[in-house]
Amino acid sequence: LVESWSFLDTVESNFRPLVVIELAKGTKEETIEWFTKRIMDKKANGGAQLLIKPLVTENGVENIYLVGASHLRLLLGAETVGLVKECSDNSMRTFTYSSRKTFKDFADDNHNFLTMAECQYIIKHELENLRAKDEKMIPGYPQAKLYPGKSIVRRLLTSGILVQIFPLHDREELKKLRHSWYGRVKVGYQPLDDIRCYFGETIALYFGFLEYFTFALIPMAVIGIPYYVFAWEDYDKYVMFATFNLLWSTVILEVWKRICAILTYRWGTLLMKRQFEEPRPGFHGVLGINPVTGREEPVYSSIKRQLRIYLVSLPFVCLCLYFSLYVMMIYFDLEQWALDYHEENESNFSSLMLYVPSIIYAVVIEVMNRIYRYAAEFLTSWENHRLESSYQNHLILKVLVFNFLNCFASLFYIAFVLFDMKLLRQSLATLLITSQILNQFAESLLPYWLQKRYNRRMKKRMCSQKTDMDLSLADQVNMEKEMGTYLGTFDDYLELFLQFGYVSLFSCVYPLAAVFAVLNNITEIYSDALKMCRVYKRPFAEPTANIGVWQLAFETMSVISVVTNCILIGMSPQVDALFPDSKMDLVLTVALVEHLLLAIKFIMAFVIPDKPRDIQMKLARLEFESLEALKQQVRAFQMQLHFLLIHH
Amino acid sequence: LVESWSFLDTVESNFRPLVVIELAKGTKEETIEWFTKRIMDKKANGGAQLLIKPLVTENGVENIYLVGASHLRLLLGAETVGLVKECSDNSMRTFTYSSRKTFKDFADDNHNFLTMAECQYIIKHELENLRAKDEKMIPGYPQAKLYPGKSIVRRLLTSGILVQIFPLHDREELKKLRHSWYGRVKVGYQPLDDIRCYFGETIALYFGFLEYFTFALIPMAVIGIPYYVFAWEDYDKYVMFATFNLLWSTVILEVWKRICAILTYRWGTLLMKRQFEEPRPGFHGVLGINPVTGREEPVYSSIKRQLRIYLVSLPFVCLCLYFSLYVMMIYFDLEQWALDYHEENESNFSSLMLYVPSIIYAVVIEVMNRIYRYAAEFLTSWENHRLESSYQNHLILKVLVFNFLNCFASLFYIAFVLFDMKLLRQSLATLLITSQILNQFAESLLPYWLQKRYNRRMKKRMCSQKTDMDLSLADQVNMEKEMGTYLGTFDDYLELFLQFGYVSLFSCVYPLAAVFAVLNNITEIYSDALKMCRVYKRPFAEPTANIGVWQLAFETMSVISVVTNCILIGMSPQVDALFPDSKMDLVLTVALVEHLLLAIKFIMAFVIPDKPRDIQMKLARLEFESLEALKQQVRAFQMQLHFLLIHH
């Protein structure tokens, strides 16, 4: 129990900085004093019972604070957030302090039982759950109102006193991770478990999905190559390719659910109980009674929100969609102009010019997507959703609809209005390749270059020839606090989603799309890894059990692609030639095949279990055990009662 | 606490018989002694701690036993099964004995706090959970093996020693219920809450669904009548009717989920935790280790079961489907023959003869459905599923596929191969009406008549002129034990499912189907009510939160009906005439409309929340409270620990 004493003290030697808090320059003394006192205060007094220390640099104190916690405090925190860890008997169980001895690798002096990412997640959770007691406002800032139960950190953030909270990198660990992840050229899987230990489950799951998706695309790519090499144009080969493609896309999405279950079971998040959702930081309203918690807190009328959604957001989205279609029509004018130019002066230059409109259009699409993304974020934030999940759903819906139309409208138009397969193939290839190049550039290389330049300048300013590893803690914090913030996996999934659209929607026209997707994803893994390790601040780990709404988005895309591919095959001249007498029969056959494929898809999705059998068994076992424990409790209580009655 | 003493005694005056156990004639004395001892034994000794009394009739003891329980025992049992009851503050909470005072209408002397159906359910649960300790066999029957943890009642049932267990009717209550349910001619809702109190949630939910479905069909019926009266044949009216029909069927299925949530929230089953599923009584295997519970119990290899399913059941089902199609072809021959006959000798008789093949076919379909049902039950039981839910799923799948094909194959053939709309209408009408008449007869009137005859004979034998109300307990038990056993809601839902098919699959051809469905359902409510109250033994209440797999079945049917209706409309000569130049355009338009309708259906199903807002809020509130309680526990524990550390 000796170790446990550190729980109560703040001895310097035990202090391991985990999280950095940056307060605004010129924050009042009384505010800082009150805030640090609340963070250090005992749980019993409503504090967070964490350790906090100002960062002392050469320039003196800079309103930057380091937060840590004793080992015992972290273990108790792990129980509060409901972490699930592996037991000695290899089963996964919710961690409790009282049953700590039954967990694998647990020892009172083993400070690596919780990973650093888990410790940082616990500290973030504790900080966010530091709530106002009877304070009416933040001391020193009368305009920053508080009410009992309001999260102090969230109020500090919204009133600008708190600039940012971020977890520190572990340079030692990061170096190891970088090496095993992308440091050497090797063929093999990513070190997903290490990524999860360092960055948390959400990010590890994204890289898991990216890797899985790349592997899943390989069969398509392999089958697609001969179509290009031998210039196959036989309809039966196209039909076979498309059919394989459609069934394959269903299979891979179903199998992903199983792999995801395996991963998250191993990581413990599959079993983690959902935490009760607090209002998101940006939410505002007038004080009222929350009907769910019965507490006094800001409420915002649902009708007002509906009005904002239907009278402002919806028309705005429609306007954007219209604008996107308008730009598309300009693109077609440009395309026509390039064609005319090529016909007039036939030369190498003019045939290169044929590709220019597509490339310009691809760039414009990317730019529009990015501008729209900001607008959508602004609008969704203005809609004032109370919960982060509801905010995310509305944002994702807005962004997905626009991105889908923006990226694919021109292809649909070429395919089903112009019936120009040659242009479709060319346009698809240009859009896909241009957008991939732009994305790689904008997402990773550009920030990496900026970061590198900044680091160089920083080092020069610090007038030191030290290598990265020798940097003092103060230097490290100062460097990391200037790094960009990783905004979550949204953009990364969106990119994959659009790529999946390019590959599957018109797969029978351009089988080579899968090849480009595979090539892109291999570099994407490296550039995303670089981005995570080098460019951005370390993000807080976020436990998650699946890829959420993206599963649904990918499944919807694969349903749409059944329809488009069937129509494309039906339109091909080869299939056309098979029904020389009656176009009716052709259309009816295509419709029949389409319905059959859709039916097979749904049956397959229904038949393939979402979790592998052994995970199902393990979950059933846990459920059985908890029911048994409950029964034991009831029985023990009944026996007590019984005893009481007899000896009354 | 005085009342509580009865918990320990078996004083005659407190004994209220709830459940009847009938043992086989000639059961050995030692078996009976052992069994009754185990039932009465204290919980601490592994007994059920219930009260049991032999039924004494004029002919002496007849191996019939009455089971009851003290009030306190029932309350503790209510906690064990996890009943959810209404609290004084109108919220629904899981009942626990320690918090009993907070529940509405609870008083130590109020024996009506638990309904009789709930008491009987608790007793059934306790009897089924009476488990073998160290017995190796049932005393007196060495061939009836036991092993630790085996349910004694299930072994007694499978070895034929226990003939049946059934709950007793409450003549007083039943009379009241009958009166308010179907005793007087009235327009109004069924007394669903009373039905639920008397028969339990599963049956109340069936009647709730039947009533809801009938009301939901009324708009279709009302819109359908003018089509018949004015002999509308305009395509636009048909299109309107079909479109309304399709959207309507989506809406009603979504709204039902909400109504179901309202009902089951009020009844407490929405919040009830799922009990851990025990092996079904018929399951057999060799002793092994169950991987989930870790207990020694019979296990049966999953591969063997798969072999039975795929090598025997699947071929058998396919054979039955083939046979059904073969019978259908015979029907068409008959139909042709009747037509020829009518053409040769045109008379009133011959035009009546035109309906005969359809009627014969309808009867044959019903007979085949019933025979197949037995075969499916036998096969599924032979597949040796371990869990009742898995058994039910396999049975329902087998039965649904066959019934769907058997009932609708001829209609599909007429519509999409023969293109004979007149015959389709005639055939649809005949099939629908004949099957409804047959069902009403076979399900309710026939058993009612048999039961009535039997009752008359019984009374004559007892040589008494007593009325029903004066019957002694012994007479009541003797009468009820001979009544038929209600086999669950399966057949009732199946009937509704097929009816939904008749109404929606070809709705634009025969709008009058909804009218017949409504008429049938109104009488169905009465005849089913009669069947429950008069014909069958009282069934054990079964808590349930929804109509389960039937929701999915109805939704699938409504998707299929979008496809069929779109094709039918496309085939109608009026729509045909709209596209005089190009059949292609017609087909493409129909396909487009169909895809739009399907998309709208899925979006509607996605957008309409499954639970009404207030139920969602109540559930969120409960979740919040349980999380808060958990947090409190953790906090209390941490404070204890803290205290310990300080005062160490």
CB-based contact A584 B587, cutoff 8 Å: yes
Q: Say what the pLDDT of residue B350 is.
A: 83
Q: State the count of interchain CB pairs (< 8 A) between A and B.
A: 86
Q: Say what the pLDDT of residue B217 is.
A: 92
| Residues in A touching B4 (Cβ below 8 Å) | 645
Greatest mean pLDDT range, B18-22, B238-242, B298-302: B18-22
Chain A contact for B603 (CB, 8 A cutoff): no
Cα–Cα distance measured from residue A54 to residue B68, given in angstroms and rounded to the nearest whole number: 71
From B624's Cα to the closest Cα of chain A, the distance in A is 7
Q: Are B639 and B285 in contact (CB under 8 A)?
A: no
Chain A contact for B295 (CB, 8 A cutoff): no
Q: Say what the pLDDT of residue A642 is.
A: 64
* B283 vs A647: which has the higher pLDDT: B283
The whole model's pTM is what?
Answer: 0.87
Q: Which of A2, A6, A76 to mutate to test the interface with B (most CBs of B within 10 A)?
A: A76
Q: Are A86 and A265 in contact (CB under 8 A)?
A: no
| Residues in B touching A591 (Cβ below 8 Å) | 587, 591
CB-based contact A563 B641, cutoff 8 Å: no
Each residue's pLDDT tens digit, A296-322: 788 888 899 999 999 999 999 999 999
A617: nearest CA partner in chain B:
B292
Residue type, B55: L
Residue A9 has pLDDT above 60, yes or no: no
DSSP-derived letter for residue B166 is: E
Label residue B451 by pLDDT band (50, 70, 90). Answer: confident
Q: Are A158 and A118 in contact (CB under 8 A)?
A: no
CB-based contact A595 B635, cutoff 8 Å: no
Each residue's pLDDT tens digit, B124-176: 999 988 888 888 889 989 988 888 888 899 889 888 899 999 999 988 888 88
Nearest Cβ partner for B583 among A43, A584, A645: A584
B6: nearest CA partner in chain A:
A645
Cα–Cα distance measured from residue A8 to residue A42, given in angstroms and rounded to the nearest whole number: 9
| Residues in B touching A635 (Cβ below 8 Å) | 43
Mean pLDDT estimate for chain B? 85
* A204 vs B79: which has the higher pLDDT: A204
Q: Say what the pLDDT of residue B11 is.
A: 44
Q: Say what the pLDDT of residue B518 is.
A: 93
From B517's Cα to the closest Cα of chain A, the distance in A is 29
Cα–Cα distance measured from residue A59 to residue A41, given in angstroms and rounded to the nearest whole number: 29
Each residue's pLDDT tens digit, A99-110: 888 898 888 778
Percent of chain A residues topping a pLDDT of 70 = 92
| Residues in B touching A637 (Cβ below 8 Å) | 97-98
B607-637 CB burial, b ≥16 within 10 A, e <16:
eeeebbeebeebbbbbebbeeeeeeeebeee
Report DSSP letters for A612-638, one per residue.
-HHHHHHHHHHHHHHHHHHHHHHHHHH
CA atoms within 13 A on the CB side of B357: 23
Average pLDDT over residues A386-405: 91
Q: Locate tokens 């052992």: which residue?
A: B34
| Residues in B touching A293 (Cβ below 8 Å) | 621, 624
Chain A contact for B636 (CB, 8 A cutoff): no
| Residues in B touching A8 (Cβ below 8 Å) | 645-646
Q: Say what the pLDDT of residue B361 is.
A: 92
Q: Say what the pLDDT of residue B648 is.
A: 53
Chain B contact for A303 (CB, 8 A cutoff): no
Percent of chain B residues topping a pLDDT of 70 = 92
Q: Which of B79, B99, B276, B592 to mutate to test the interface with A (most CBs of A within 10 A)?
A: B276
A44-55 CB burial, b ≥16 within 10 A, e <16:
eeebbbbbbebb
Q: Say what the pLDDT of residue B462 is.
A: 63
| Residues in A touching B291 (Cβ below 8 Å) | 617, 621
Strands A60-68 and A51-57: what pairing? antiparallel
Q: Are B440 and B524 in contact (CB under 8 A)?
A: yes
What's CA A486's distance to the chain center, in Å?
Answer: 10
Chain A contact for B632 (CB, 8 A cutoff): no
Give the DSSP H or E segment for B422. Answer: helix B421-440
Residue A470 has pLDDT above 60, yes or no: no
Strands B137-138 and B141-145: what pairing? antiparallel
What ipTM was estimated for this complex? 0.82
Measured between its terminal Cα atoms, the distance across chain A in Å is 42
B615: nearest CA partner in chain A:
A292
Helix boundaries (H) for A129-199: 152-158, 171-178, 192-199
Average pLDDT over residues A523-540: 88
Label residue B638 by pLDDT band (50, 70, 90). Answer: low
Q: Are A31 and A135 in contact (CB under 8 A)?
A: no
| Residues in A touching B76 (Cβ below 8 Å) | 638, 641
Identify any residues that bridge with A67 across adjacent strands, giving them in sequence order.
Answer: A19, A52
Label residue B641 by pLDDT band (50, 70, 90). Answer: low
| Residues in A touching B80 (Cβ below 8 Å) | 631, 634
Between CA B605 and CA B612, with CA B611 as vertex, the angle to 5 degrees is 110
Residue B498 has pLDDT above 90, yes or no: yes
Report DSSP letters for B559-611, one per residue.
HHHHHHHHHHHHHSHHHHHH-SS-HHHHHHHHHHHHHHHHHHHHHHHHHS-SS
How far, in Å, are A160, A567, B272 from residue B581 at the CA level?
70, 22, 62
Chain A contact for B607 (CB, 8 A cutoff): no
| Residues in A touching B631 (Cβ below 8 Å) | 80
For A156, phi then psi, to 5°, come to -60, -40
CB-based contact B43 A595, cutoff 8 Å: no
Cα–Cα distance measured from residue A65 to residue B129, given in angstroms and rounded to the nearest whole number: 59
Greatest mean pLDDT range, A330-334, B484-488, B605-609: A330-334
| Residues in A touching B624 (Cβ below 8 Å) | 276, 292-293
CB-based contact B275 A623, cutoff 8 Å: no
A583: nearest CA partner in chain B:
B584
CB-based contact B44 A642, cutoff 8 Å: yes
CB-based contact B642 A42, cutoff 8 Å: yes
Residue A548 has pLDDT above 60, yes or no: yes
Taken in order B294, B296, B297, B299, is the CA torsion positive or negative? positive
Nearest Cβ partner for B624 among A293, A588, A623: A293
Average pLDDT over residues B405-411: 93
Percent of chain A residues topping a pLDDT of 90 = 32
Domains of chain B by residue range: 19-168, 177-300+384-591+606-611
